Each structure stands twice: as structure tokens, then as C-alpha cells.
Structure 1
């Protein structure tokens, strides 16, 4: 039995490592172009990109650990079932329950790992990600324009230049429109301008020479001539979607969420929607790690019941079942944040449902009985096979 448990545990670990690596790699590659597009110019080296991805890893690991746990257990027991190893073990008096110590230990370790990420790793990763992202924006980005193209990278500001020399920072026939002030529109036009970068201050200055300023406020229009006029731009505004001042529930440590739930006075300027997000995020940090153990146990009877199924079809089946879980989970998040239902109901519902299915399925799998619904699914193509045999 010790040898059996060791072999099952090692196979689970190998599949878990392979699954996490593949899923994490696919996610991070998909984010690469999105991350690079946050900057005006492509001056961020691959090592810097990898460093940013490393800090995003805890966020993604919290999402993929449950499915990686489920796939590892499912594929392991599906292989054992397909190779008739389960039949041989049961023929020698080893019941399904006696095979459980290894997967239980494996699922417990995955759950503890997910709890560690949920309680501490997620907030640390997001803090470091924002810090490094802002640092790279200051030290690596520069203002790069394309000639004859309107640039709207900065919120509320539109740039245009007929001729551009990005190496020297020189602009010819430059135009800028500033709508960042509510109710007021400012247009600056000049035959010449230059771009001065100040990375250490996270600022860029666009200096116009011998131009005009058109300022419109309501029905009033003012026109001013100038010799030199400078516009200051904050590089931090390049980071679309990253507000370094606003506190978001998804970026907070777990224990900070707990304290805010107990005392709303810690965030006196926030509204009810913010506190609903805090409640939802709090239960999300609890239910996702527990989902590792529940989905892992759920996968054992499913793999045993669908014995003989090819691994590629088994993989699709497992992914489909996880999508059911994740869809319920996403609906719970949306309804909890909107206030449609209490967050705890929506967040705990998928785990509770899958616990009952796992217990029910484990009993059937140990008795080597197939539920009627599964029996019907396995024989959907039976009439077609009979027709082929008759032909």
C-alpha cells in the first residue's frame, strides 16, 4: 500500500506541475502584448517584462490551482481506470477508499498552497507589480509620436505633429488639445516644439515655441500669443487601468478585507457598492482555495465512472465540468457585487453543490455502480452502432 500511495502521489505531482506550467504559460503569453501596449514606446526589455509577469503570477495561480488540482486527479485515475489498474487493485481486495490517502494528501497540499496565495501572496504580488510598473514607466518610457497621426495615449489630451524626430525630440507644426479640465477646451498650436523627458520625476515636458493658445470656456474664446509654452505630462497616466491612489478590494490582503468588513469606518468615504465588493472578495479568498480540495475529490468518482474514456475526451470532459463550477462561481461574484443576493450565498453555492456530487459519486464508484444519467450518456451512440452492425 505504501508503494501504491507513493506512485499515485508522484503521478499527481507530475501532472500538477505540467498543468500549472502550461496554463500559466498560456495566460502570461496572452498578457505580454497587452502589458507592452501600456507604454508609448517599446523600450521595456524582456527581463523587465518577465519580472512584471512574476509579480502577476500569484493572481493567476489562485485561479488556475483549482483546475490544475482537478485535472491532475482526474487524469491520474482515468489512466488507472483505462489501463484496468483499478480493476486489478479491486480484484486484490483494495477498495477505492483505500486508494484515497494519496489524493487526499495531494489535494490538501494544493489547498494550503492556494490559501497561502489567497491570504498573503496575492496582495504582495499586486503591490510589487504596480510599484515596478510605475518605476519602468518613469525610467524606460519616452514620448514617441508618429508624424501625421493623432495621439491620444494621455487621457483627455490629443497630440499631433506634421513632422517628428523622436530621436532628437523635435516636432514641426505641432498641435495639442487639452480637454482634461471640465467645461474648458485648450488648443495650443506652434510651428516648432520639443519633447523633454524627466524620467526621475516621472514627467515629460512638451515645450512649444512662438505659437498661440486658443482657450474656450462656454461661449468665451481667448487667444494668446507666446514665445515659449510648456505642457507637463505625468507618465503615471500612461498606465491605463492602474490607479495608484484608489484602493481596490481585489488588491487588498485578506486580513485587511476582514477588518473592513467588521468596521466600515476604516473606509469612511466609500459607498455600499465598495463594501459589497469587499464582502465578495473576502468569501472569494476562502472558497477558491477550498475548491482545490473539493474539485480534486470530485474528480475521483468522475474518472472511475467514465472508465474506458480516451484521455483527450477525458480532458474535454474535465474542462467542461470545471466550466460549470467556474460559471457558477462567476455568477456568484457578479450577483454578490451587485447586491442581488448576499455574497456568501453566491460564493459558497458551487462548493456545496460539488461536495454533494463528490460524496454521491464516491459511493457509486466504490460500489462499481453507474448512475442512470451517466449510463444514458455513455450509450447515446448505441443506436448508431446497432445500425452499423446490422448493415
Structure 2
């Protein structure tokens, strides 16, 4: 039995490493493609980009570790079933329950690993991501305008210049519109302007010369002529529009989430929606790690029920079952943040449903019987095939 458990555990670990690598690679490539325009417009090196994505890894790992655990267990037992290894073990007197220590140990290890990410790794990664992002904004970033193109990289600010010399930072026939103040629009027009970048202060200054300022507020319009006028911009906003001073629930360590839930006066100026997000994030950090062991145990009877299924179809099936779980989880998060239901119910509901199915399925799998609903579906499928 020790040899059997060791072999199952090693196969689970190999599949887990492969699955995590593939899922993480797909996510990072997709994220890189999404932000390609940002990186192309800034003077940020390839290794700096990899460094930023490395700090985002804990955030992604919290989401993909449960599905990687489920896929590893499902594909391992599906292969054993397809190769008739389970039948041979059953004939040798080894029941399903005697094979459980290896997957149970594996799922427990994945759960503990996810708890580590949830409690400490996520907050560390987001903190380092913001710190390095701001550092790159200060030391590497540049503000490049294209002639004849409206630039909207800064939130609520639009830039335009008919002629641009990015090397010298000179603009001809420059125009800027600032809508950062609600209900007020400020337009600055000048025949020439100069861009002065100060990376050490994470600041860009645009100096307009001999132009006009048009300020519109409601039905009132004011026009002001000037000889020299400058606008200061925060370089941090040039990179993904990050507000480094904003306190977000998803970036907090678990201990701070718990402290805010116990004493809301720690953040007295926040709205009720912020406290709902804190409450939802708190239960999210608890339920996702438990999802590893629940989905892992859920995958075993599913592999038994669909024995003989090819691995490519098994992969699609397991992905579909996880999609159902994640959809229920996402609905719980949305309803919890909206205040429709308490987050404790919405986020624990998927785990409760899958625990029930796992326990019932494990009982049927050990007896090598199939639930009536599955038998009916298989009969319906093969019945249609025979008629065709």
C-alpha cells in the first residue's frame, strides 16, 4: 500500500505542476497582451515586466490552485480507470477508501499552500507590485505623444498636439482638456508647449506658452490669456491608472480584513459598500483554500462515473464542472458586495453543494454503482445512438 500511495501521490504532483504552469502561463500571456499598448508606450524593460508579473502570481495562484487540484485528481483516477488499474486493485481487495490517503494528503497540502497565499502571499504580492510599479514610473517611464492623435492615457485628461518632438519634448499647437473636476471642463490652448519630465519626483510638467484657458462650469464660460502656464501630472497614473493611496479590500492582508470586520471604526470615512467588500473578501480568502480539498475529493467519484472516457474529453468535463463551481462562487461574491445576501452564505454555498455531491458520489463509487440520474442520462445517450 505504501508503494501504491507513493505512486499516486507522485502522479498527482506531476499533473499539478504541469496544470499550474499551463494555467499560469496562459493567464500571464493574456495579461501581457492586454497591457501591450501600455508597455510599448513606456520605457520599461522585459525583465521589469516579468518582475511585475511575478508579484501578481499570488493573486492568480489563489484562483487557479483549486482547479489545478481538481484536474490533477480527476485525470489521475481517470487514467487509472481507463487503464483498468482500478479494476485490478479492486480484484486484489483494495477498496476505494484504502486509496484515499494519497489524494487526501495531496489535497490537504494544496489547501495549506492556498491558505498561505490567502493569508500572507496575496497582500505581499500586491504590495510589491504597487511599489515596483511606482518605482518604474519614477525611473523608467516616459510620456510620449503622437502628432495629430488624441492621447487619453491619463484619467479624465485629453492631450493633443499638431506637431510633436518627443526627443526635445517640444509641442506645436498644443491642446489639453481637463475634466477631473465634476461639472467643470478646463481647456488650455497654446501655439507651443514644452514637456518636462522629472522621474525622481514621479512627475511630468507641461509648460504652455502664450495661450488661452477656457473654463466652463454650468452655463458660465471664462476665458483667460497667459504668457506661461504649467500643468503637473502624476506618473503613477500613467501606468494603469493606479491610485496608490486607495485602500482596497483585495490588497489587504487577512489580519487587516479581520480587524476591520471586528472594528469598522478603523476606517471611519469609508462607505457601506467598502465594508461589504471587506466582508466578502474575508470569506473569499477562507472558502477558496477549502475549495482545493473539496474539489479534489469531488473529482474522484466523477472519474469513477465517467470511466473509460478519453483524457481530452475528461479534461473538458472537469473544466465544465469547475466552471459551474466558479460561476456559483462569482455570483456569491457579486451578491455579497451588493448586499443582496450575507457573504457567508453566498461564498460557502458552492463548497457545501460540492461536499454533498462528493460524499454521495464516493459512496456509489466504492460500491461500483452509478446514481439513477447518471444511468438515465447514459441510457438516453446510448438509446439515441442505437436509433441513429
TM-score, normalised with respect to structure 1: 0.95
In 2, the alpha carbon distance for the partners of 1:214 and 1:317 equals 61
- Specify whether residues 222 and 305 from structure 1 end up closer, same or farther in structure 2 by C-alpha distance, changes over 3 A only: closer
> Equivalents in 2 of 1:157, 1:251: separation in Å?
27
Distance apart, 1:226 and its partner CA: 2.9
Q: CA deviation at 1:386?
A: 2.5
- The residue number in structure 1 matching 2:333 is 333
User: Is residue 36–residue 42 contact of structure 1 (8 Å, CA) maintained in 2?
Assistant: no
Deviations 1:116-137 (A, max 9, x none): 0000000110111111111112
Moved more, 70-79 or 43-52: 43-52
Runs of 4+ in structure 1 deviating by more than 6 angstroms, as ranges, are: none
Whole-angstrom CA distance in 2 between matches of 1:22 and 1:381: 33
| Counterpart residue number, 1:233 | 233
Q: CA deviation at 1:76?
A: 0.1
Q: Which residue of 1 aligns with 2:132?
A: 132
User: CA–CA distance in 1 between the matches of 2:163 and 2:55?
Assistant: 40
| Conserved? CA contact 1:332–1:343, under 8 Å | yes
CA distance in 2, matches of 1:106, 1:242: 38
- Structure 1 stretch displaced more, 176-185 or 54-63: 176-185
Give yes or no for contact 1:40–1:153 (8 Å, CA) kept in 2.
Answer: no
Which position in structure 1 is the counterpart of 2:306?
306
Indicate the SS of the match to 1:379.
helix
Q: What is the Cα-based RMSD across aligned positions, in Å? A: 1.6
Unmatched 5+ residue regions in structure 1? none
**Inter-partner Cα distance in structure 2 for 1:217 and 1:91:** 84
Q: Cα deviation per residue 1:137-180 (whole Å; 9 max; x = unaligned)?
A: 22222111111111122222221111111122111111122232
Aligned to 2:56: 56
Q: Indicate whether 1:272 and 2:272 are aligned.
A: yes
Residue by residue over 1:218-273, the C-alpha shift from the partner in whole angstroms, topping out at 9 and shown as x without a partner, is: 45444333332222111122234522112111111111111111111111112222
C-alpha distance 5-39 of structure 1, shift in aligned 2 (>3 A): closer
Residues 42-191 of structure 1 mapped to structure 2, 5 A cutoff: 42-191=42-191
Aligned residues: 388
Deviation at 1:339, TM superposition (A): 1.3
Deviation at 1:39, TM superposition (A): 5.9
The 3 A distance-change label for structure 1 pair 238 and 342 is same
* Residues 155 and 241 in structure 2, CA contact (< 8 A), matched pair in contact too: no
- Partners of 1:229 and 1:261 lie apart in 2 by 47
* Superposed CA offset, 1:61-106 (max 9, x none): 0000000000000000000000000000000101111111110110
SS at match of 2:232: strand
Following TM superposition, by how much is the alpha carbon of 1:340 offset from its aligned partner in structure 2, in angstroms? 1.2
2:359 paired residue number: 359
CA contact (8 A) 2:62 2:114 kept: yes
Residue of structure 1 equivalent to 2:376: 376
Distance 1:214 1:273 in 2: 37
Provide structure 2 residue ranges, at least 5 long, that are not aligned to the other structure.
Answer: none
- 1:214 CA drift (Å): 2.9
Q: In structure 2, what is the equivalent of residue 262 of structure 1?
A: 262
In structure 1, what is the Cα distance between the partners aligned to 2:232 and 2:342? 46
User: Residues of 1 paired with 2:123 and 2:273: CA distance?
Assistant: 21
Q: 2:19 — aligned with what?
A: 19
> Using the alignment, how far apart are the partners of 1:225 and 1:386 within structure 2?
86
2:223 & 2:279 partners in 1: Cα distance?
Answer: 53
- Sort the Cα spacing of 1:221 and 1:344 in 2 relative to 1 into closer, same or farther, 3 A: closer
Deviation at 1:373, TM superposition (A): 1.3
- Cα deviation for residue 217 of structure 1 reads 4.0
SS of residue paired to 2:172 = strand
1:281 lines up with 2:281 in the alignment: yes
TM-score by length of 2: 0.96
Aligned residue for 1:97, secondary structure, equals helix
CA contact (8 A) 1:193 1:206 kept: yes
Deviation (angstroms), 1:209: 2.2
Pick which of 39-48 and 51-60 moved more.
Answer: 39-48
For 1:330-358, what per-residue CA distance to the aligned partner results, in whole angstroms no more than 9, with x for missing partners?
11111111111111111111111111111
